[in-house]
Amino acid sequence: MVYCRKARTDAAFRVDDLPGSGGRMDVAARCVQTALWLSNDIRRDTKIYIVLNGPPRPPVTICFDGATLRNVSPDERSIALWIKKYLQHDATKEWAEINPGISVSKSSFQDVVTAISKDHKLFVLHENGADAAPATRDNVAFILGDHIGLPENDEKYCMRFGAEKMSVGPKSYLASHCMIIANNALDRFEARRDCEATL
């Protein structure tokens, strides 16, 4: 999941100006793409929650579920058009799925953390975390801030649910890039496990 501090929570942004009018909605769109897309396929075992906290009525959370997602292209504009369509919907606390694999609700960052922590081990991606991949492929959730980072109280909230800080390398990477490195680490873990299982 990605915390987007300034991303708009209505559809009053221009798809041809995602960074400005969308409140860095390009970051949200890119994270959806990097979390879910493979070459010629989608990660069917992966969901991403983008938690939008910009004006006028934060929070709004949109979930893209690789298991059932279809009719979405990986370019930023295409993903942003879906986000915009969902922001025209009057979101409530109940999740509403309008298109297969995309749902929206008024859930806050902390609501989503509470929900996913029930059956996921949480990792907060952070420059000062341990540079180590999770020792499991199953039920792992990565939590990222956008270009500004996670608010301190939200980071602390994650820690209350047993989250660990994890770094993905020695430099400071874009959130969307962190997604790829973290997913790649899980892919390698899974491949090793499958390989060992056949020995």
**Counting contacts by CB under 8 A, is residue 40 touching a copy of itself?**
yes
Q: Do the Cβ atoms of 28 and 81 come closer than 8 Å?
A: no
Q: In sequence order, what E strands does 110-199 have?
A: 121-130, 140-145, 164-166
Residues β-bridged to residue 29: none
Residue 137: Cβ within 10 Å count: 18
* Per CB under 8 A, 34 contacts a copy of itself: yes
**Span between the terminal Cα atoms of the chain, in Å:** 35
Closest distance between a copy of itself and the C-beta of residue 168, in Å? 7
Using CB under 8 A, which of the segments 2-10, 73-81, 91-99, 118-126 binds a copy of itself?
73-81
- The β-bridge relationship of strands 121-130 and 47-52 is unpaired
Of 58-66, 86-94, 98-106, 184-192, the segment contacting a copy of itself by CB under 8 A is 184-192
CB 122 within 8 A of CB 155: no
Q: Which is nearer to a copy of itself, 15 or 85 (CB)?
A: 15
Cα–Cα separations (whole angstroms), residue 20 to 29, 98, 136, 184:
14, 27, 38, 31
Decide: is 119 part of the binding site for a copy of itself (CB under 8 A).
no
Contact 162, 121 (CB under 8 A): yes
| Interface pick for a copy of itself out of 77, 136, 139, 156 (rule CB under 8 A) | 77
How many positions of this chain bind a copy of itself (CB under 8 A)? 36
φ, ψ for residue 82, nearest 5 deg: -65, -40
165 binds a copy of itself (CB under 8 A): no
Cβ atoms 129, 170 nearer than 8 A: no
Regarding 160 and contact with a copy of itself (CB under 8 A), the answer is no
Residue of 70, 170, 196, 198 that binds a copy of itself (CB under 8 A): 170
d(CA 118, CA 101): 21
Q: With binding defined as CB under 8 A, does residue 169 bind a copy of itself? A: yes
CB under 8 A: which stretch of 53-61, 74-82, 108-116, 118-126 binds a copy of itself? 74-82
Binding segment (CB under 8 A) for a copy of itself, from list 50-58, 76-84, 110-118, 155-163: 76-84
Provide the binding-site residues for a copy of itself, judged by CB under 8 A: 15-16, 18-19, 26, 30, 34, 37-41, 73-78, 131, 147, 168-175, 177, 180-181, 184, 187-188, 190-191
